[in-house]
């Protein structure tokens, strides 16, 4: 049975009001810049409880929910690109204070399907308005490769029909990541474009297309981190 999420303009307006209120609590952009300048920026790597070798995996249940990649949700094979997906989610959280994906279950869909919808939302350019905002950026999957990716996992049939469409969540609201950063978090256009340019390739639905950690280091993001965090 397939259902459609109905449009609710009042609810959408309420979400925008909530965004503005949250932005006020977060403080001004200059305040955040001053806090960052005064911070002692050191990084420690901790909590390797689920770590495994690339050639020997102990479980299919990996990653914190909000940082979980699509191949794990779908029950497909995973490797080091799964860590890059988590890294992109953490980068977004570091510069905004919010998680990129925060899925919830609904009346007729579960949390995993909502999570996949959140990942897909931005590439649905023909999407109608819906109650929730489904956020990402542009072209996270190719129209030619996505059905293959969507249907290639152990749990794929639970979420997708044979055409690669979600079974229960059929209408998504398109809100590009660049606009999210500008409208919700007061990023400048340049900083928002730079951050989007950095994150979108790492959030590719196809694991093999994601850049490696070494390739990410070559991205010119220094001024974006310092001016917008």
Comparing 109 with 124, the larger pLDDT belongs to: 109
Short-list 219, 130, 115, 217, CA closest to 175? 130
| pLDDT confidence band for 171 (50 / 70 / 90) | confident
Question: Which whole number is the average pLDDT over 124-146?
Answer: 36
* Phi, then psi, of 179 in degrees rounded to 5: -70, -35
- Would you state the pLDDT for residue 50? 74
pLDDT digits (tens, 9 = 90+) for 25-55: 556 677 777 777 777 777 777 777 777 888 8
Report the range of poorest mean pLDDT among 14-18, 69-73, 109-113.
14-18
Instruction: Give the percent of the chain with pLDDT over 90.
Output: 25
Q: Is the confidence at residue 110, as pLDDT, over 60?
A: yes
Lowest average pLDDT, out of 108-117, 134-143, 156-165, 212-221, goes to 134-143
Give the model's pLDDT for residue 204.
87
pTM over 0.75: no
Residue 5 has pLDDT above 50, yes or no: no
pLDDT at 174: 73
Cα separation of 25 and 52, whole Å? 40
- Is 65 a residue whose pLDDT tops 70? yes
Distance CA 175, CA 126 (A): 12
pLDDT for the residue 61: 81
The answer to whether 194 and 221 have CB atoms below 8 angstroms apart is yes
Quick check: 206 pLDDT over 80? Answer: yes
The rounded distance, in Å, linking the Cα atoms of 118 and 177 is 12
Which range, of 56-70, 141-155, 172-186, averages the lowest pLDDT?
Answer: 141-155
Query: Whole-number mean pLDDT of the chain?
Result: 74
Q: What region does 77 belong to: left with phi over 0, alpha with psi -120 to 50, or beta?
A: beta
Q: Half-sphere exposure (CA, 13 Å, Cβ side) for 30?
A: 0
Per the CB < 8 A criterion, the answer to whether 64 and 144 are in contact is no
CATH number of 9-24+63-228: 1.10.510.10
The pLDDT value given to residue 84: 95
Rounded Cα distance, 173 and 6, in Å: 11
Task: Tell whether the model's pLDDT for residue 135 goes beyond 90.
Answer: no
Paired residues of 53 in beta bridges: 56
N residues, the chain: 229
Q: Nearest CA to 180 among 193, 169, 170?
A: 193
Mapping DSSP onto H, E and C, the string for the chain reads CCCCCCCCHHHHHHHHHHHHHHHHHHCCHHHHHHHHHHCCCCCCCCCCCCCCECCECCCCCCCCHHHCCHHHHCCCCCCCHHHHHHHHHHHHHHHHCCCCCCCCCCCCCCHHHHHHHHHHHHHCCCCCCCCCCEEECCCCCCCCCHHHHHCCCCCHHHHECCCCCECCCCCCCEEEHHHHHHHCCCCCHHHHHHHHHHHHHHCCCCHHHCCCHHHHCCCCCHHHHHHHC
Nearest CA to 117 among 87, 73, 75, 153? 73
């Amino acid at each position: 049975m397939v259902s459609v999420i109905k449009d609710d303009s009042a609810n959408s307006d309420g979400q925008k009001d909530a965004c503005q209120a949250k932005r006020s609590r977060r403080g001004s952009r200059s305040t955040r810049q001053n806090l960052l300048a005064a911070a002692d920026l050191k990084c420690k790597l901790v909590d390797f409880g689920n770590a495994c070798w690339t050639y020997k995996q102990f479980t299919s249940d990996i990653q914190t929910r909000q940082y979980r990649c699509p191949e794990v949700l779908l029950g497909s094979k995973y490797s080091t690109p799964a860590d890059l997906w988590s890294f992109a989610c953490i980068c977004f959280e570091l510069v905004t204070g919010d998680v990129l994906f925060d899925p919830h279950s609904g009346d007729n869909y579960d949390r995993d399907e909502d999570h996949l919808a959140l990942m897909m939302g931005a590439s649905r350019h023909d999407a109608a308005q819906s109650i929730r905002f489904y956020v990402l950026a542009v072209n996270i999957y190719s129209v030619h490769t996505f059905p293959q990716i969507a249907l290639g996992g152990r749990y794929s049939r639970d979420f997708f029909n044979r055409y690669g469409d979600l079974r229960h969540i059929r209408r998504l609201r398109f809100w590009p990541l660049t606009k999210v950063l500008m409208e919700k978090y007061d990023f400048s256009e340049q900083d928002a474009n730079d951050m989007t340019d950095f994150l979108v390739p790492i959030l590719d639905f196809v694991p093999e297309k994601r850049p490696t950690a070494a390739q990410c280091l070559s991205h010119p993001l220094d001024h974006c981190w310092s001016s917008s965090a």
